[in-house]
Chains A and B, each alone.
Chain A
Amino acid sequence: MIETLIDKQDNFEIIRDQVAAILALEVANQQTLATAALKDPNLWKLRIYIERANPWEAFLHPTIDESPLVNVWYENTDFDLSSSNVGERQRARGILNIDIYGYGKSANNPAGGHKAGDELAALNCQRGLRLVRNILMAAEYTYLGLRGVVTGRMPQSIRFFQPEQDNRAVQNIVASRLALAVSFNEYSPQVVLNTLEFISIDVIRAEDGEILIEADYDFTP
């Protein structure tokens, strides 16, 4: 039996939460920097979620925040047997999917014509994706702030998703996915051994080259 309560997060969970925390922190920081640079900080705003099934619900209602939504969710882990050991450590390579949802609403353009919602949705999605990739691949986050746990991260792919076109929805949405591969170690519970005896051993090389060992056994008879 395992004698200790497994009351911890695995590293893949810690990494997922850390990616979301980095994005939330840096997006707030980018907004501050944009304000200081006299630019519209809303263009640097993203709303960050983890493992959410329906963040899009927010876009359904009339009074909404139209900034892009980001959903960080964990997809899979592959283990490398050659770099692992059977006792304690499993060398892992995980894929985190970072989905970015862009929203666009058609609007009158007072200067003439109109702003097309589908184009706005794609541009908003790509703006969010640009921010996410630049933040996660910045030199400051080579190890995602988890040096000792994470040994590397690299984007695997970027894909865009078009919503269903046959029954066109009132709202325009475009989604993209950045798949981020992260290398790390997972650890498992270990047997905690009881100390039976302490043994002290001295290894001595004699003048003639012979190796001598002197052992002390400290025990209570």
Chain B
Amino acid sequence: MTGLRDLVQKDLGFIMETDKAGARWPITVTDPSGAASTGLYGLSGDISQVIDPDTGQIISGRLATVSIRISALSALGLGIPQGIEDNTKKPWIVTFNDINGNSFTFKVAQSSPDRGIGFVNCTLEQYTP
């Protein structure tokens, strides 16, 4: 008997990784050892936002995120991405194109895995490779 979570996981795979749902986007994830994913799909976002740095003057900012199924990462031999604060180590790197084909590289600043249904949402920050 298939449980509700199994069903959600299956739907996630359909929505995030198949071209039938139309939402998938090619994403490259590189772990701190330098191992990079190939053929990985997920959801990506890169939008402007408004930030208040508490100086009384609102400033423009940019927020980028990716969402990937944990099982898709595992299948490629990768773990769950996470923010690496120790600057003696290499960070997790995420690369994807915008809708116009321009490639952007980011560092994983924060990851929020949902192990219940099996996906990880990563908040990104600009990175110069």
Q: Which of B3-11, B71-79, B82-90 binds A?
A: B82-90
* A to B CB contacts below 8 Å, 22 in the list: A53-B58, A60-B48, A105-B127, A105-B128, A106-B126, A108-B128, A114-B84, A114-B89, A114-B107, A116-B85, A117-B125, A163-B52, A163-B53, A163-B54, A167-B49, A167-B123, A168-B63, A168-B125, A169-B51, A169-B125, A173-B61, A174-B53
B62 near A171 with CB under 8 A, answer yes
Complex interface residues of chain B between 97 and 129 (CB less than 8 A to chain A): 106-107, 109-110, 123-129
Residues on A with C-beta less than 8 A from B58 are 53-54
> Which residues of chain A in 85-114 are interfacial with respect to chain B, using CB atoms and an 8 Å cutoff?
99, 101, 105-109, 112-114
Is B124 in contact with A170, judged by CB distance below 8 angstroms? Answer: yes
Q: Complex formed: what's the CA distance from A172 to B13 in Å?
A: 33
Number of A-B contacts (CB under 8 A): 110
**Interface size for chain A: under 10, 10 to 19, 20 to 34, or 35 or more residues?**
35 or more
B61 A169 Cβ-Cβ under 8 A: yes
**A56-B127 contact in complex given A115-B87, A162-B54, C-beta closer than 8 Å:** no
User: Within the complex, what minimum Cβ distance (angstroms) separates A54 from chain B?
Assistant: 6
CA distance A107 to B106 in the complex (A): 9
Contact A106 B90 (CB under 8 A): no
Binding site for B on A (CB under 8 A): 53-57, 60, 71, 99, 101, 105-109, 112-117, 119, 161-164, 167-175, 177
Main secondary structure of the interface of A (DSSP, over half): mixed
In-complex Cβ contact of B59 among A57, A109, A117, A172 (8 A): A57
Q: Would A107 and B51 be within 8 Å (CB), given that A53-B57, A56-B59, A169-B62 are in contact?
A: no
Taking each of B54, B58, B90, B91, which has the highest tally of chain A beta carbons within 10 Å of its own beta carbon?
B54
